[in-house]
Structure 1
């Protein structure tokens, strides 16, 4: 094993030269001999603790953001953030007496002494956060922002992502397993566009599938990470190659979540058509309109992919205009659906409903969160975050949105928008089931006990 030079460690790592254990630890994890996982050996003649910018042999063209926060860690960070977000959703709604487990048909607790559902979710989030912090800290210690070392240690974040997935899949004694089993079962059903019956947790399937649409770019990043790592002479921590795998595969992966919801809407439509006619459900036209909404995501992805691969300036300009039309339709249609259908607001209703004296302007009669200004703020934020693409209309912001830091910020903002959306979507479903009768084609069962009720 090649040991780093002690004097370099002394000045840059702060070991002081007197700690043999520290040198041994650093040598074990942070020398070329350790870079051999996944059959991807990397060797250097000698480690240097100074950047080699401009050397074409070692400078991978990494931007400063990717040096500190490589693509695989961004994927893991957002995945961990999703667990924290779901815990906060459960906790806040619980404080407002909204029973989310009841809505998604998840078993209730056997007794008040058992840890609440949000508590179990927080425990999992803490474990995932510790795993992320440990891995990224070790990565920083081993690479020190030096481009060639960042590329060489591309195996490390892949190991972390493997451990992250294993945390969900492998039963661990100290972590609740019931919720993870339920999540994986729901994910398996949803991943092929399946949809449970109302009494079996249909709302949970819809909620998860909608959330997946906001993680479409994250799924694309995950594929790019794996594609770069397993390509010849590639590394998961080099500058992200967003054309890895060709111009079709990444847009297709990003379109899968919308395709899932599209199929679910068609399933709901055919269920309505097969059932006896009821005035409350109508003929199913709303489900077709919802399917149309998700289908508007496909032209956005297609025109964007064609635009990147086009070489002729005239073709690029025409495709850019087509993309603008497609993304405008998708954003405004989705915003309308968020407000009018998912949240049951009257903002887009006829004037007599919108200005009814029984509720604040544009809202509805019953508000769980009580403060009308909060709803107005969320509606405005939803519109703004639905239109982050408009940055491309400004020269300076367009350049920022193409940087890795800008791409990550846009992904984060979409995840944040969806997190806020969940509060009001669940609130709406709760009011539908607990106001004037049952919600549309939903049966309220109440709490029931199951084998998972004590461990999650």
Structure 2
């Protein structure tokens, strides 16, 4: 089957875009208005709908754009399957990539111009190194999605290396195959990687994998600097920055391990004890990052694991500090208003568990789970009535947080399996789809509009 890396990257990108579309669709059907939650109207260059189908909902516009790009990818892949020579296949693939770029940047109002402008504008704000600009939730969600696609950026670099061979004919002429010159394009690609930085993406690949985490780290530092000094909000952003910073040792040590063995041949000057030290450091780094990331998902991003006595798992990092003021449980701005009687913002006194539960259950503007108390390890207010959905999401998130280490381990060599790397990337995209779904649901549950 003809399914090279060039089209694996495209299909994974389409899968991520389709996952975002289904997020919007399911949230809309659940009665959740995504636009105010993502703060789309507050963006510095807010894009108003200027498409011909202005009455369409957000998920319909995104799906229409994904469908157009998907048709281009499908046609390009089918053409490559029918072409007889590898060089012709590469040329057709290049045309497919160029067509996708033209669709995304075309100035015409057709094909969801507002959605395309929002996407490009979000990328620009994420890459922007400024520590003074405000950080919007839409950019946070986009940056987190990019971290799940980090490996795809290194693969994309290898794709560009493969494209460059078409424009350098000497790469074919200088390869000694022992027979009559070059036989396949794959041999030329491997030889070109060996003489350049393209070998398994090299240092550039490591930087590309680390880039999305660096962008997200910058956002956390930005939010920390803009928060009230010493507040729980500032502590939370600082702890979140530690989570993303812990990804860099994992990436660097994984790259160091992969350089030790190539096709079963040792290619390192390190002694055996040094290799064991590197592996031990990698194991410690990946264990800390995976468990800490899982804790952050359920404690802060999803705001789960509450107990009936008022304690929640998020208190392990940034407990809410007490003051003399009291806030109502159904006040939508309760956890965003500064305390007028105190110089420190966000330091609020939470009602007793019994009073808080009573207010939540009696509030007409909220939806609570059935019964006098909420299910174990969840929270008082849920947007979906089935607690099983949240339990399954937590279990899957833990398993997939750990499973992604297979992609980085030099001992498992998952890339040697048939499309092993593709399926692991697809699983990570699914995990991010699930995370995005409950991340927005948590914001909706915290508001009074649902």
Give the TM-score taking structure 1 as reference length. 0.70
Alignment of 1:274-353 (within 5 A): 281-282=231-232, 284-310=234-260, 311=268, 312=270, 314=272, 315-346=274-305, 353=311
Q: How far did 1:409 drift?
A: 0.8
For the residues of structure 1 that align with 2:394 and 2:382, how far apart are their CA atoms?
Answer: 14
Q: 1:304 to 1:345 in 2, by over 3 A?
A: same
Deviations along 1:310-353, one digit per CA (max 9) or x if unpaired, are 42461433322221211111111100000001000026x79764
Q: 1:264 to 1:81 in 2, by over 3 A?
A: same
Match of 1:124 in 2: 65
2:407–2:424 Cα contact (<8 Å) kept: no
411, 427, 434: which one pairs with 2:425?
Answer: 411
95, 109, 124: which one pairs with 1:159?
Answer: 95
Superposed CA RMSD in Å reads 3.3
Alignment of 1:7-18 (within 5 A): none
Q: How far did 1:103 drift?
A: 1.6
Deviations along 1:344-390, one digit per CA (max 9) or x if unpaired, are 0026x797646986311111111112110011001100111111145
Match of 1:368 in 2: 383
143, 154, 174: which one pairs with 1:220?
Answer: 154
Match of 1:55 in 2: none
Q: 1:253 to 1:85 in 2, by over 3 A?
A: same
Deviations along 1:181-201, one digit per CA (max 9) or x if unpaired, are 111111111113457966xx7
2:305–2:378 Cα contact (<8 Å) kept: yes
Deviations along 1:270-309, one digit per CA (max 9) or x if unpaired, are 11147xx7xxx53611111000000011001110111122
Deviations along 1:137-167, one digit per CA (max 9) or x if unpaired, are 0110114xxxxx3355222222212211221
For the residues of structure 2 that align with 1:114 and 1:254, how far apart are their CA atoms?
Answer: 39
For the residues of structure 1 that align with 2:59 and 2:375, how far apart are their CA atoms?
Answer: 32
* Match status 1:386 vs 2:401: yes
* Match status 1:98 vs 2:32: yes
SS in 1 for 2:56: coil
For the residues of structure 1 that align with 2:255 and 2:209, how far apart are their CA atoms?
Answer: 11
1:344–1:428 Cα contact (<8 Å) kept: yes
428, 434, 447: which one pairs with 1:420?
Answer: 434
Match of 2:446 in 1: 432
Q: 1:165 to 1:423 in 2, by over 3 A?
A: same
2:14–2:70 Cα contact (<8 Å) kept: yes
Match of 2:202 in 1: 247
Q: 1:139 to 1:222 in 2, by over 3 A?
A: same
Deviations along 1:235-265, one digit per CA (max 9) or x if unpaired, are 9877776961663110111001100111111
Give the TM-score taking structure 2 as reference length. 0.71
Match of 2:2 in 1: 68
Stretches of structure 1 that go unaligned for 5 or more consecutive residues are: 1-66, 144-148, 437-456
Stretches of structure 2 that go unaligned for 5 or more consecutive residues are: 42-47, 173-183, 261-267, 314-352, 354-371
Deviations along 1:421-449, one digit per CA (max 9) or x if unpaired, are 1110001122223379xxxxxxxxxxxxx
For the residues of structure 1 that align with 2:435 and 2:117, how far apart are their CA atoms?
Answer: 25
For the residues of structure 2 that align with 1:429 and 1:338, how far apart are their CA atoms?
Answer: 14
For the residues of structure 2 that align with 1:195 and 1:209, how far apart are their CA atoms?
Answer: 16
Q: How far did 1:78 drift?
A: 1.4
For the residues of structure 2 that align with 1:187 and 1:237, how far apart are their CA atoms?
Answer: 33
